[in-house]
A and B are shown apart, each in its own frame.
Chain A
Amino acid sequence: MSNVTLGALLVALGAAGALAGVGVAVLGLLGRRRGWWRDSAMLVGLMAAAAGGAFLVMERALITRDFTVSFVAQHGSSRTPAVFNVATLWSALEGSILLWTLVLCGYVVAVVIKFRDRRDDPMMAWVMLTLFVVCGFFFLLMVGPARPFTSFDPLPFANGQPFDGPGPNPLLQNHILMAFHPPILYLGYVGFTVPFAFAIGALATGRVGEGWLLATRRWTVMAWGLLTLGVVLGAWWSYETLGWGGYWGWDPVENVSLLPWLTGTAFIHSVMVQERRGMLRVWNLSLVIATFALTILGTFITRSGVLESVHAFVESGIGPWFLSFFGLIVVISLGLIAWRGDALRAPGRIDSPASREGAFLMNNVLFAAFAFVVLLGTIFPLIVEAFDGRTLTVGSPYFERMTMPIGFVLLFLMAVAPVLPWRKASAGVLSDRLIRPAWSGVGAIVLSVLAGARGWAPLLAFGLGGFAGGAALRQLVLATRRQGWSGLTGRTNGGMIVHLGVVLIAVALAASNSYVRQETFEMTPGATAELSGHTFAFLGTEVVEYSNRVERRAAVRIDGGQVYEPAVAVYGFAGRLIGIPSVRSTLTDDVALSIAEMSDDGQTIFLRVTIQPLIVWLWIGGFVMAAGTLLAVAGGSRRSPIAPVSAPVSAADESGKALAQ
């Protein structure tokens, strides 16, 4: 059987499984099918097998260069190196949807295994119904507008050469991070489907207490951690690949990956208020629904071609499908929240703004404001074009000016919130607990000034970073004194390690943005140049041929030491010219070299040199955040998933049946 036929059959099988799953879950809710859970589990297995099988078939087609598969003919090539051949699957629209579906099915399998003991719980029927609907949507995309398996007739070229594809976009096949960044990002994005499904289940059954939060706590934190890692790896890929010395350009596609991260971050903080005090129910439901909806909106923006981006996929007919699905999610979710209005009323009050819950509330307002600024700036060009037909670009000056004050206040809250007790804090307690972190902030400012740092914004960032870092370390020291090494695990202490990662990133962002130096030098062999105390000697050029590209490399010695080789490369028969930067990273600064222009004989180059301090700490901070996330879910005491505020299963069973009738 050909790859096209087998792949198309597997996709159709998965779609049928998802649609059957919707039917089984509905029958289970109506009480007409007692074995609905067993049937659902089988259908989930079928979907996962179909998605996994389709994924493997596509990989086989890519690896064996089966150009009878249209996707392989358009995006594969016999010249692409093996590792990028595998990664070609997620370099284009149809393959990326296939990967998304596979990850989603993996999560659904995990849900079925994890919650197998709650098969009689009507909330699980709603959860499974929601998951089947989302799976069905993605399978139907692959049956309809984003078909990965269509036939192609690979006729030989006019010169008699056998057919060969162009390969993936050159930018996607010149750095190893491309093999990791998209799958990890998808694991984060798609992971939020699980808490979303439980939120819908909670609303539908009326069990809107803490039960669904406790059940999905680790799922949410893991999804958030993976999304964090995915975003950081994406920034690293941009920095290493695009050659302009930057890592975040406030591009629409970058922005839409940040939006669910922002609402997800707000959510993982505000759930603690509901768990402790039973408050912020509507807010938490709204945040988790918004996080999932924003992943769908982001997918629409990335894949519909409505906004221009260097990261966007080619324009396709998939846009209306995603927009309709986004609308459906918003309408159903808002309808359910309105329907459960009375049950969502919070039983508690926040006694004082100077309390842990008061700080979480403020944190949520700030993250919501951050998300609003990013969303507005991203879609504002569309709004202006719709109203007066003018084209407009909203770029980094706007986003930096609007988000910087929010970032400063968030850093301040990161310092103060961990030392605040629940309910209320006295001035004396705050003073005693904050004095050491405050000295840590003072130390950071003094050291920065002594090291030559100038300017109010970076100094404020360093000072607040020191303050927040001191508060996180204080908490960790107290916890490890009492509990030994296990004091590093659990949500609170793992969270403090995440805070340390955020501080590293904030300091690196402030330093690299404030003290960046860039200059372009015209050089011939033997010429030297100098920038920010570094010297650069151009030694000459050489041509190196690879299977997928021809590189013209320039050898540049930095500071009389190691030689670095930025290059320009021509990829495949597309003939696209791509710059390949070369970066020297140290703990204090990065020197990024790229070729802005090279003469035909290779004797003259325009060498672009970008020097940024502390940039490596961005990536270290990202990994510290990921490690903190793992520690947060790895240990610590867990509450019983039988929620103290949620209705017992028997009572909820009645509400579930009532709803179904």
Chain B
Amino acid sequence: MTRRAGPPMGKRVTRRWSAWLGVVVIGGSAFLYGAVDEGPPRTDADRVYSLAQNFGCPVCDGQSVAESDTVVARNIRQQIARRVDEGRSDEMIIAELEAVFPGNDYTPAASGLSSLVWILPVVAGAGALAGLFVVFRRWRQEIDSGASPADERLVARFLRESAAGGEGVLGGAVDDPRGGVVCPDGNAQTDGQGDVRQP
């Protein structure tokens, strides 16, 4: 099996950086353009729908005002439409509805006991990430190289080959569907667990 000679290492690195630069510039520009431009303004009907979605129907089993077709829900939708016509803000409309039908605002308050529903997931998430950070740090300290002289010779050979114009660190290696890589010369392969073994 003959090996296809790849471009020199320096050229490969430049090409790689150029490709990623293109991703950042083109993707970032398109994203910023689309994110900053708000598109057509929201209509009154959009606001009514959005507000009705965020307020529970007081006489229904777990349906919002937008979902329910009960008389009460229809009346509340009409009331929302009137308030939107009058130019009131979303917050004012929801506050007025909550005063008449307490406990139906779908957005829990960020104060008092209700605030726990916002705070607890953030605290738990931060705790989990901190825990992961500590565990990884401890594992890193515990791990020594553990590589045998034969393994180290094998790695050194790969590095020499790639420096001599191979196709990367593993010299044109291709992905093994199990998650490892297979080298084109058939001399060695990783077994999907990162362990290099001779065939």
Q: Which residues of A contact B (CB under 8 A)?
A: 242-244, 246, 249, 251-253, 276-277, 307-312, 349-353, 355-356, 358, 361-362, 365, 368-369, 372-373, 376-377, 380, 384, 387-388, 390-398, 402, 419-424, 426, 428-429, 431-433, 435, 438-439, 441-442, 445-446, 448-449, 452-456, 459-460, 463, 475, 478-479, 482-483, 487, 490, 492-493, 516-520, 579, 596-597
Among A365, A438, A579, point to the contact of B129 (Cβ < 8 A): A365
Chain A residues contacting B16 (CB-CB under 8 Å) are 428, 431-432, 435
A and B contact pairs by CB, cutoff 8 A, 23 listed:
A242-B67, A244-B68, A246-B66, A253-B62, A351-B143, A369-B125, A372-B121, A377-B117, A398-B107, A421-B192, A423-B193, A432-B168, A442-B23, A449-B31, A449-B33, A449-B34, A452-B39, A456-B31, A460-B31, A478-B174, A518-B46, A518-B66, A519-B49
Partner of B60, one of A310, A402, A421, A433: A310
Instruction: Write the chain B residue with the least CB distance to A424.
Output: B194
Residues in B whose Cβ lies below 8 Å from that of A518 = 45-46, 49, 66
B150-189 contacts to A, CB under 8 A, are 168-170, 174-175, 177-181
Residues 120-151 (chain B) with a chain A CB within 8 angstroms:
120-121, 124-125, 128-129, 132, 136, 139-140, 142-143
Chain A, residue nearest B105 (CB): A393
Task: Report B-chain residues with C-beta under 8 Å of the C-beta of A387.
Answer: 113
Q: A251-B62, A351-B139 are in contact. Are A390 and B103 (CB under 8 A)?
A: yes
* A397 with B34: CB separation less than 8 A: no
Whether A596 and B107, one on each chain, are in contact in the complex, defined by CB atoms closer than 8 angstroms, is: no
| Neighbouring A residues of B129 by C-beta, 8 Å | 365
**Smallest Cβ-Cβ distance to A596: which chain B residue:** B69
A367 to chain B, nearest CB (A): 11
| Nearest-neighbor residue (CB-CB) of A272 within chain B | B179
* Residues of B42-94 contacting chain A, CB below 8 A: 43, 45-46, 49, 53-54, 56, 60-64, 66-69, 74, 77
In-complex Cβ contact of B177 among A362, A492, A520 (8 A):
A492
Across-interface contacts of A361 in B (CB, < 8 A)? 132
Cross-chain contact B194 with A423 (CB below 8 angstroms): yes
Partner of A349, one of B27, B74, B120, B139: B139
Most buried by A among B33, B66, B174: B66
B30 at the interface (CB under 8 A from A): yes
Determine the chain B residues whose CB is within 8 A of the CB of A439 once the complex forms.
19, 22-23
A493 touching B104 by the CB < 8 A rule? no
Residue of B nearest to A466 (CB): B27
Q: Are A365 and B45 also in contact (CB < 8 A) when A249-B63, A392-B114, A459-B35 are?
A: no
**A429 engages B169 (CB within 8 Å):** yes
Which residues of B are found within 8 Å of A373, using beta-carbon distances?
Answer: 121
Report how far A377 CA is from B179 CA in the complex, Å: 38
A571→B33 CA distance, assembly (Å): 52
Rounded to whole Å, the gap between the CB of A244 and the closest CB of chain B is 4
- B157 CB to nearest A CB, Å: 17
- Residue B102, interface by CB 8 Å: yes
Contact across chains for B194 and A395 when beta carbons are under 8 A apart:
no
List residues of chain B with CB within 8 A of the CB of A402: 118, 121
On whether the beta carbons of A376 and B142 are closer than 8 Å, the reply is: no
Given A365-B132, A441-B23, A446-B26, 6 more contacts at CB 8 Å?
A310-B62, A350-B136, A368-B128, A398-B117, A428-B168, A463-B31
A47 to B67, CA, bound (A): 43
Interfacial chain B residues near A596, Cβ < 8 Å: 69, 74
The residue in chain B whose Cβ has the minimal distance to the Cβ of A516 is B49
Chain A residues with CB below 8 A from B27, complex form: 438, 441-442, 445-446, 463
B193 in contact with A422 (CB, 8 Å): yes
Check: B7 CB closer than 8 A to any chain A CB: no
